[in-house]
Amino acid sequence: MCLIFVLSTLNVNAQRISKNKKAVIASVEKHRSELIDVSDQIWAAAETAFNENTSSKVLADYAEKNGFKVERGVAGMPTAFVASYGSGSPIIGILGEFDALPGLSQNTTPEKSPINTGAPGHGCGHNIFGTASLGAAIAVKELIEQGKLKGTVRFYGTPAEEKFFGKLWMVRAGLFDDLDVCLDWHPSAETKADVQSSLALVDFIVEFNGQAAHASGDPWNGRSASDALELYTTGINYYREHIKPTVRIHYHIQDGGQVVNVVPDYSRLWVRVRDTKREGMLPVYEQVQKMAEGAAIMANVDYKISLVSGIYELLVNRTGGVAMQKNLEYLGPITYTEEENAFGKKIQEATGKPQVGMDSAIRPLEETLEHPGGGSTDVGDVSWIVPTIRLRTTIAPKDTPWHSWAVVACGGMSIGHKGLEQAAKALSMTMTDLFESPKLVEAVKKEFKERKGDTVYKGMVPDGPPPIAQNK
């Protein structure tokens, strides 16, 4: 009797999803091979920030083919686009990224093997990110088309996440202002509703200008921009002892002089300051700017600081996270073939990790941590404009080093494709929840208002167009 009771309970649970949710799952399965083809095309194109011409076109064309109205080149960025279907409220958005990372070219093999040494590769899985989100939007669109859901679904093609943070200019253009709720996800080595924040950051360029001279013949005539650069980075590295453990400071020397026999008259660094909250990041940003002036004084050169962009920490929405979690649990973990597990183990072997294979277990909903650590995302800024519900699904074996060749390898083969399918299903199911339940939309908005409090969002981008021309 007991067993029958348990079985019938399981059965009831299994049937508890609505017809609409069953339909979106079926839609993702119906489009599966097309979605994989879209993802693989973006994977092969592997285009970096603001160069995503093929990737953006492949996604926008596929949206158009599926009946969406597509507006290309929005917010002053040729590779940004918005694809909409339906009318009226609710308006539910979903974000998609598609840019690659430089230098990570890689075959779909479990050992490091570039297709084209030095060329870009999808080391963050954004080929899958953009495609799964569009797949989810298409599934929901089909229900609106059939009159089973009412409202508007909108897919955002968001470029340059890995450099410059393209969403900032889309936020500035007001493209998210009329959304009720937005969804977002990220490829990962685990599967969960994502209820953790991300780090706020600011990016800026420091340039030093001195006087060139013969390094040996008349160095007294020279004022060295590379001396200033060295003094500046030395100052930053001393400063590290006196900042909170949550703060991160990074710099990339972009120009330290050209040859050994000239006193360099020009040097340039890209500097980044992060903290778990924007209010922690801002005073460090101020101090690190002062240090540039100090270094310039010591080296007797001029200096210039130019803001690139800055992003907010993510505003978590647990109400939405709970809805996402339920859908993930309904779907259950991804199952892998023996070959896929062996592929995962080989990647783990090659990257010095325990060879445990794939792990797609659905993680329980986590506590939202005050200081989550990890990286940053321009989804942060969107999440201060509109409540944002997030997800992670597995596209690589456990402990895979991120932004590495190993992620590129998995993202172009069946392990990545399975994560794509899982994400598209969970996202479209959660969007269906929102369309079906005005109450859920209200609850998600209520939490958003409470968390945002009286904070007035102030985007951190310089005036003028997005930095497409300055992209080097």
Closer Cβ to Zn ion, 96 or 344, answer by number: 96
Write the CB contacts of 301 (distance below 8 Å, at least 6 apart in sequence). Answer: 208, 209, 210, 211, 223, 224, 225, 227, 228
Candidate segments 42-50, 65-73, 118-126, 269-277, binder of Zn ion by CB under 5 A: 118-126
| Choice between 168 and 206, CB closer to Zn ion | 168
Tell me the DSSP string of 224-266.
Answer: -HHHHHHHHHHHHHHHGGGS-TT-EEEEEEEES-S-TTEE-SE
Residues 362 and 391: beta-carbon distance below 8 Å: no
Q: Shortest Cβ distance from residue 124 to Zn ion (Å)?
A: 3
Nearer to Zn ion, 31 or 186 (CB): 186
The CB-side HSE value for 164 (13 A sphere, CA atoms) comes to 23
Q: Are 99 and 48 within 8 A, CB to CB?
A: yes
CB of 145 to Zn ion, least distance (A): 31
Query: CB 311 → Zn ion: shortest distance, Å?
Result: 13
Q: Whose CB is nearest to Zn ion?
A: 124
Q: Which of 91, 124, 284, 391 binds Zn ion (CB under 5 A)?
A: 124
DSSP state of 220: G
427 touching Zn ion, by CB under 5 A:
no
Q: Which stretch binds Zn ion (CB under 5 A): 81-89, 117-125, 317-325, 434-442?
A: 117-125
The gap from C-alpha 129 to its chain's centroid, in whole angstroms, comes to 8
Query: Roughly how many angstroms between the first and final C-alpha of the chain, as a whole number?
Result: 69
Q: In what order do the strands lie in the sheet with 266-275?
A: 248-255, 266-275, 200-209, 302-311
Say whether 184 sits in a helix, a strand or coil: strand
For Zn ion, give the closer residue by CB, 329 or 399: 399
Nearer to Zn ion, 346 or 392 (CB): 392
User: Considering the complex, what minimum distance in angstroms separates the CB of residue 204 from Zn ion?
Assistant: 22
Q: Is residue 306 within a helix (H) or strand (E), and if so which, with residue range?
A: strand 302-311
Task: Provide, rounded to whole angstroms, the least separation between the CB of residue 186 and Zn ion.
Answer: 6
Nearer to Zn ion, 160 or 206 (CB): 160
Nearer to Zn ion, 62 or 165 (CB): 165
Stretch that binds Zn ion, among 3-11, 49-57, 107-115, 121-129 (CB under 5 A): 121-129
Question: Minimal distance in Å, beta carbon 411 to Zn ion?
Answer: 11
Please say which residue, 248 or 268, places its beta carbon nearer to Zn ion: 248
Number of chain residues interacting with Zn ion (CB under 5 A): 1
Q: How far is the CB of 89 from Zn ion (least distance, A)?
A: 30
* Cβ atoms of residues 307 and 224 within 8 Å: no
The closest of 207, 223, 204 to 215, measured between CA atoms, is 223
* Amino acid in position 158: T
- Rounded CA separation 185/94 (Å): 9
- Window of 28-36, 122-130, 163-171, 172-180 that interacts with Zn ion by CB under 5 A: 122-130
Residue 170 near residue 349 (C-beta atoms within 8 A): no
CB closer to Zn ion, 128 vs 424 = 128
Q: Which residues pair with 204 in a beta bridge?
A: 271, 307
Site string for Zn ion, 72-111 (x = CB under 5 A): ----------------------------------------
Interaction site with Zn ion (CB under 5 A)? 124
